[in-house]
Chains A and B, each alone.
Chain A
Amino acid sequence: MSSKAPSASRQGPGSVPALLDVQDLRVRFRMLDATIFAVNGISLYLDPGETLGLVGESGSGKSVTSLALMRLLPPQPAAEVSGAIVFDGRDIASLPEKQMRSMRGRDIAMVFQDPMTSLNPVLRIGEQVEETIRAHREVDSTGARARAVELLRLVGIADPERQLERYPHEFSGGMRQRVMIAMALALEPKLLIADEPTTALDVTIQAQVLELLKKLTMETGTAVILITHDLGVVARMTRRVAVMYAGKVVESAPTGELFADPRHPYTVGLLHSIPRLDGDVGTLRPIEGSPPDLRREPDGCPFAPRCAWRLDTCWEQMPELLPLEPASDVVAEHVVACHNPVTPTEVELARPDRPGFEPAPPPRAVA
């Protein structure tokens, strides 16, 4: 598949080539007795310097997607990966491992959720930060040390010379995550993938770390994929959002538009199920039912069993991710994968508002 082919996923403001262009990414894990359908055809793009939020609940495939982008998934046959990932003009899927290795850290860096397990507990902080620098840059140990000191100062760690001599367990969670960010941004990568970077942190520490991420990535012009389940974090940090469900992107739009004018029933459901600090204290309107079983390849729309808008087709045919207004000349950034999207008037109601409409019952074969 050519990455230049026009597609539903590549509708960015045109002139700049995308930094990242993912086409129909699929990931399956083969286990002894089952196959896990983790990612089921994702298309994404990211412009240089842009911040994209990847939102979804457990099992939606957001972390597996990020591992696929870094090519960190286990090799065949344990994990089967297909689709095209073009990063900065190069096809990641076919890159030799040696080149991939030099790209990781230098061009694409990653920050994980749990800073305790991503730092080596038996090495001093300094050794780990310097190792990252020396792996990619021709510097001697004094140079690396100087750069490490500078980096720690940049992420707001006081007295960096002394802190570099300490071990990860002597740091608090917030400080460890700052070190991770320092290491990730050490080489001014073009893309930073942050997988739930603040989920393990307290809310006042989360505020510090988010602020820091925003400031530093803006200064270095680094594009960010921010993976999170927290729509509040998305609202604060991102320019564009892709909502994932069962290994598919079900809706994607500029952040403001997604919150103001959501169209996929799942997005609408999510927005109604989060308790908020502001506004009225009403009863929450949760999404009924449970997340999908990933051991079955979805034939229809994976959200159909929990959806109040479902039609008969939804049980049988996976809807494509298409622009909201197909006829429009304007660059369509709002795309939805739904046979029967929510109308603007139904968003507040959180249910279909059409006389006589009943969600289609499951086909008999399933029941």
Chain B
Amino acid sequence: MTSNHPLLQLRDVRVHFPITKGLLLRRVTGEVRAVDGVDLNVLRGQSVGLVGESGSGKTTLGRAVVGLARPTSGTIVFDGEDVWSLGRDEQKRLRRRVQMVFQDPYASLDPRMTVGKSIAEPLEIHRLGSRADRARKVAELLEIVGLHPSHADRYPHELSGGQRQRVGVARALSPDPDLIVADEPVSALDVSIQAQIVNLLQELQRELGLTSILIAHDLAVVRHVSDAIAVMYLGRIVEWSLAADLYREPLHPYTVALLSAVPIPDPVVEATRERIVLPGDVPSPAAPPPGCPFHTRCWLRDKLGNPAACSSDVPALRSIRPGHLVACHFADEIRA
């Protein structure tokens, strides 16, 4: 297998949902542009963080990657194959290689299935291994995620939230996927338990060499897990960079504001920090503003005296520094 080409390639992916009116004649009266033109490459072994607020399209993009939401246009190429142009059988074969960890560990496990059965289910669906092989695999996976093999006979209600999320991770790992998409895997958990799962994800990454996409709204969590980060706003990627660069020197005005809004657990830092409080709400993805999607709340545009380009032209994602892409007409001005 060559590792020159990215494991996952998204080209101008759009996912639009129709808004309909009427019961019988379902007229389409508009559309929600959940994902609106995303280009993204994920390299083998890379861990990409997808961050953004509600309505940024991060979850829909993740669902499109694992095959749960069909893109309206654009292509998703996984390991050289265009995912949505394949036949059923080939698609199923590909799906084994892309697995998902869901947000709510209470809702994503079948309450009537033992933990062992839940973890083995992907293996059964894809007809992998004999019954004995599967049992062995389940025991092995439980240990990898920090549970005991005897947990295989338990039901989800007997486990705590943290333990359930470990089962969720084990189930995603069971068919030996190449790519894992984790959608807010720790946001339903308490702080002390969150740290356990964040560490588990970090370890798995290192030891199994997994490729992963972590979808999260918590920028601090993403910083601990991901090597590269895509910041989304209203269905688009507005900034893409290595994690270290993004946190040290964000170049999109939205990212700058987002980072400054996150409270830091240190009263000394909090007392002296400069904060940019953005006005208003995120516009509706059903009626995104013309031009730059962020221009209605942008502090930099304000500072520059409202240049016309912001409200008329959609800025392209362009390279400002090697490996650091920003979709802003005035990204060079941000440090001024």
A residues with a Cβ closer than 8 A to B are: 57-58, 172, 174-175, 202-208, 210-211, 229-236, 255-256, 259-260, 269-278, 281, 283-288, 290-291
- Complex interface residues of chain B between 83 and 111 (CB less than 8 A to chain A): none
CB atoms of A284 and B277 under 8 A apart: no
CB atoms of B266 and A259 under 8 A apart: yes
Complex CA gap A183/B162 in Å reads: 37
- Give me 19 A-to-B residue pairs in the complex whose CB atoms sit less than 8 angstroms apart, sorted by A's number: A57-B190, A203-B53, A203-B262, A205-B53, A206-B261, A233-B263, A235-B270, A259-B267, A273-B194, A274-B265, A275-B218, A275-B220, A275-B223, A284-B195, A284-B198, A284-B224, A286-B195, A287-B195, A291-B192
Name the contact of A285 in the complex, choosing from B195, B259, B277, B281 (C-beta under 8 A). Answer: B195
CB atoms of A275 and B195 under 8 A apart: yes
| B282 on interface, CB distance cutoff 8 Å | yes
| B275 on interface, CB distance cutoff 8 Å | yes
Say how far A256's CB is from chain B's closest CB, in angstroms.
5
Complex CA gap A68/B260 in Å reads: 36
In the complex, the number of residue pairs spanning A and B with C-beta atoms less than 8 Å apart equals 130
Name the contact of B190 in the complex, choosing from A260, A276, A291 (C-beta under 8 A). Answer: A291
CB atoms of A275 and B270 under 8 A apart: no
CB atoms of B220 and A255 under 8 A apart: no
Nearest residue, chain B, Cβ from A238: B267
CB atoms of A277 and B220 under 8 A apart: yes
Which residues of A have CB within 8 Å of B54?
202
Say how far A114's CB is from chain B's closest CB, in angstroms.
14
CB atoms of B220 and A236 under 8 A apart: no
Given contacts A271-B265, A290-B163, 5 further A-B contacts (CB under 8 A): A203-B53, A230-B263, A232-B265, A236-B270, A287-B195
CB atoms of A204 and B190 under 8 A apart: no
Name the contact of A232 in the complex, choosing from B202, B224, B262 (C-beta under 8 A). Answer: B262
Name the contact of A275 in the complex, choosing from B196, B224, B266 (C-beta under 8 A). Answer: B224
Which residues of B have CB within 8 Å of A58?
190
Complex CA gap A277/B223 in Å reads: 7
Nearest residue, chain A, Cβ from B190: A57
CB atoms of B160 and A290 under 8 A apart: yes
Asked, given contacts A203-B53, A204-B53, A278-B269, whether A283 binds B202 with beta carbons under 8 Å apart, the answer is yes
| B219 on interface, CB distance cutoff 8 Å | yes
CB atoms of A283 and B53 under 8 A apart: no
B residues with a Cβ closer than 8 A to A are: 53-54, 160, 162-163, 190-196, 198-199, 202, 217-221, 223-224, 243, 247, 257-270, 275, 277-279, 281-282
Which residues of A have CB within 8 Å of B278?
204, 207-208
Complex CA gap A259/B223 in Å reads: 22
Complex CA gap A118/B281 in Å reads: 21
Name the contact of A270 in the complex, choosing from B191, B224, B282 (C-beta under 8 A). Answer: B191
CB atoms of A283 and B199 under 8 A apart: yes
Nearest residue, chain B, Cβ from A290: B160
CB atoms of A277 and B192 under 8 A apart: no
Complex CA gap A174/B264 in Å reads: 21
Q: Is the interface of A mostly helix, strand, loop or mixed?
A: helix
Complex CA gap A210/B279 in Å reads: 13
Which residues of A have CB within 8 Å of B160?
290-291
Name the contact of B265 in the complex, choosing from A234, A256, A284 (C-beta under 8 A). Answer: A234
Asked, given contacts A202-B53, A235-B270, whether A276 binds B199 with beta carbons under 8 Å apart, the answer is no
Asked, given contacts A202-B53, A281-B224, whether A259 binds B265 with beta carbons under 8 Å apart, the answer is yes
Q: Is the interface of B mostly helix, strand, loop or mixed?
A: helix
Name the contact of B192 in the complex, choosing from A204, A233, A269, A283 (C-beta under 8 A). Answer: A269
CB atoms of A207 and B269 under 8 A apart: no
Which residues of B have CB within 8 Å of A278?
264, 266, 269
Complex CA gap A40/B259 in Å reads: 38
CB atoms of B199 and A204 under 8 A apart: no
CB atoms of B221 and A203 under 8 A apart: no
CB atoms of A277 and B53 under 8 A apart: no
Which residues of A have CB within 8 Å of B257?
204
CB atoms of B217 and A286 under 8 A apart: no
Which residues of B have CB within 8 Å of A285?
195
Which residues of B have CB within 8 Å of A281?
223-224, 243
Complex CA gap A44/B193 in Å reads: 27
When A and B form their complex, which 6 residue pairs have the shortest distance between CB atoms, in order from nearest?
A232-B263, A286-B195, A273-B195, A231-B265, A202-B53, A207-B261
Complex CA gap A236/B192 in Å reads: 20
Nearest residue, chain B, Cβ from A256: B267
CB atoms of A286 and B263 under 8 A apart: no
Nearest residue, chain B, Cβ from A276: B220
Which residues of A have CB within 8 Å of B224?
275, 281, 284
Say how far A261's CB is from chain B's closest CB, in angstroms.
12
Name the contact of B266 in the complex, choosing from A229, A235, A287, A288 (C-beta under 8 A). Answer: A235
Which residues of B have CB within 8 Å of A260?
268
Say how far B93's CB is from chain A's closest CB, in angstroms.
36
Say how far A279's CB is from chain B's closest CB, in angstroms.
9
CB atoms of B192 and A287 under 8 A apart: yes
CB atoms of B281 and A174 under 8 A apart: yes
Say how far A128's CB is from chain B's closest CB, in angstroms.
21
CB atoms of A275 and B192 under 8 A apart: no
Complex CA gap A269/B193 in Å reads: 11
Nearest residue, chain A, Cβ from B221: A275
Say how far B289's CB is from chain A's closest CB, in angstroms.
16
Which residues of B have CB within 8 Å of A273?
191-192, 194-195
Nearest residue, chain B, Cβ from A234: B265
CB atoms of B220 and A202 under 8 A apart: no
Which residues of B have CB within 8 Å of A290?
160, 162-163, 193
Say how far B87's CB is from chain A's closest CB, in angstroms.
40
CB atoms of A235 and B190 under 8 A apart: no
Name the contact of A277 in the complex, choosing from B199, B247, B279 (C-beta under 8 A). Answer: B247
Nearest residue, chain A, Cβ from B276: A207
CB atoms of B263 and A236 under 8 A apart: yes
Which residues of B have CB within 8 Å of A208?
277-279
Which residues of A have CB within 8 Å of B275?
207, 211
From A229, A230, A236, A277, name the one whose CB has the most chain B CB atoms within 10 angstroms.
Answer: A277
